[in-house]
Amino acid sequence: MGTRVSTVMSFQRVEITSRHVADALMVARGEGLVRDDGKATKLNDGEVADDKGIDIWADTTLPYLQLRRRGGSVKWMVRTKKTLRSVGGVRERGPDYLSVAAARRAATDIYTELRYAKAVDPASDDETPVGWTLGQVCVGYQRFLAHDRWINNRTKPPSEGTNDDVRRAFGQASYQDLGIVPVLQLDRVQLNAARDGVSSYRQRQKCTAYIKAALSWAADEHPDESGLTESVPRWWENVNAGKPDPETMRQIEQRRKQHRQNKADLTVDAIAATLFAHEKYCAARERVPGFAAVTAGIRWGIWWVAFTGNRRLSTVELLRDNLKEQDEFGEPGWGRAEWTAEQMKGKEDFWLPLPPVVYAIAAASMSDWQKAVDYNGRAHTACAKTNWVFASQQRYVRGSVGTELKDVRIYPNSLNRHLQRMRAAGALKGLPLFNPHLVRSPVGDFIEQNVTGVASSLVLSHKLKDGGDEAAATTRNYYLTGQRMREKTAGMKAWSEALVAAYLKIPDARLPEPIEQRRGRA
């Protein structure tokens, strides 16, 4: 038997990341130990840790969120002054699995419920309070954002990203402390103090913006219930995020300078070189025993974002039913991809014309996925088909209850993580930074310089200002007026031809093809 290492309770306050989750799981498996310096490290040869200790990672962003390891169990917990409630687990195949981001969302909801249990649903007529507290305003505003809204005579679907930002803003400790304060007793001094209690300047900006929006929403939509009637001055509208300190200003300018340089370095040739390195990396992973192959959705998803400039979410949200091999209104051989308003950041329907080379990327993703599932997924015949163009080969939803097989698309961040693994392996050494969002800049710049600025904005799904060059709606059909596909086609044609030409200039480069043989098990 090895040397037995005694463990005691370890407590550290950090901004919890996936690294801390990995540390907790390593200790839970008996492979590591949280040392005196608070860092989890692997055990030395001959050491054996007992499992009597407890390790706690308390989050600095959401002080009530904790990651707790006790024995072989690791759980997300919400801690208040009087209660400790489990939120979920961290094991990816567990039925209660929560990622770090999902744990933050769930913790904020649970903490708000525990702290403001008497908060009244604004949609409820069962009770008419004299006035709301700030906590009730925040709860009501979050519920408001979680459903479809009617703006400018049209439905606007909820945005998952915005809802996450609002939860994070309202979950800041300094704002939570104001939750019990009636809004009629709230003043600028209190809001400024809460703002100053947030360390990150960017987070202060978001907190200020969302608190102002929530109070204005209560005054506009529920003046009688909230107490913010027409007679109450809207003083909160003049609250601001303050100014960053000199060090923060310097850091902001440095990041901006680096971002501008990253965009300038990511030329058409650099993107082509990255794609070439990506293909070499994927091929190497196929051959090395013990390593799973890069899945079809990841391999072809990288090609897709390079050719289309799509955001990560719209890429993985593309449904097979919304992919047309031939655009009936477009050029021969050109396909079309469609997204609904709910799937787009701008919350408007979006169509994109697809040159043959770009449609081939989507088709290869679908065929390669089917080959992999047919071979590796014989036990999963109940879900051997998918609705997604860039589908995951994982056949059930993380965090779902039970083991029911479901149709899962790849996770948006999977594309970023693939690129991070390539960088860690040295596969992108010497190449400019490439990621799915940064590539939108060179795509847009190229189309603006070689076609028009309008075509650039249309391809990237950026909203255009109303201009005088738009034909009357009665003279053009929806295909032309609503989606302006002719201009998008010109932009996509120019960009795809330039990228193909840059790729084929690389020695030994050839355009990628679907796999010819079924993948073996890793």
Strand pairing category for 10-14 and 54-59: parallel
Longest dimension (CA), the chain: 85
185: exposed, middle or buried (Cβ count in 10 Å: 0-12, 13-18, 19+): exposed
Quick one: pLDDT at residue 26? 81
Q: Sign of the C-alpha dihedral, residues 138, 143, 148, 149?
A: negative
Q: Which of 171-175, 246-250, 517-521 has the lowest mean pLDDT?
A: 517-521
Q: What is the pLDDT of residues 53-104, one digit of tens each?
A: 788 888 887 888 899 988 888 999 998 767 788 889 888 767 788 888 888 8
- Nearest-5° angle of CA 382, CA 388, CA 393? 55
**Residue 395 pLDDT class (50, 70, 90 cuts):** low
Is the predicted pLDDT of residue 124 greater than 70, yes or no? Answer: no
Is the predicted pLDDT of residue 239 greater than 60, yes or no? Answer: yes
DSSP for residue 80: -
Q: Which of 24-33, 183-192, 311-320 has the lowest mean pLDDT?
A: 24-33
Average of per-residue pLDDT values in the chain:
82
Quick one: pLDDT at residue 472? 32
Quick one: pLDDT at residue 334? 94
Top pLDDT among 512 and 117 is at: 512
Average pLDDT over residues 248-264: 90
Average pLDDT over residues 154-177: 85
Task: Please list, in sequence order, all residues whose beta carbon lies within 8 angstroms of the beta carbon of residue 177, skipping any fewer than 6 positions away.
Answer: 194
Q: What is the pLDDT of residues 397-416, one digit of tens each?
A: 444 444 455 678 888 888 99
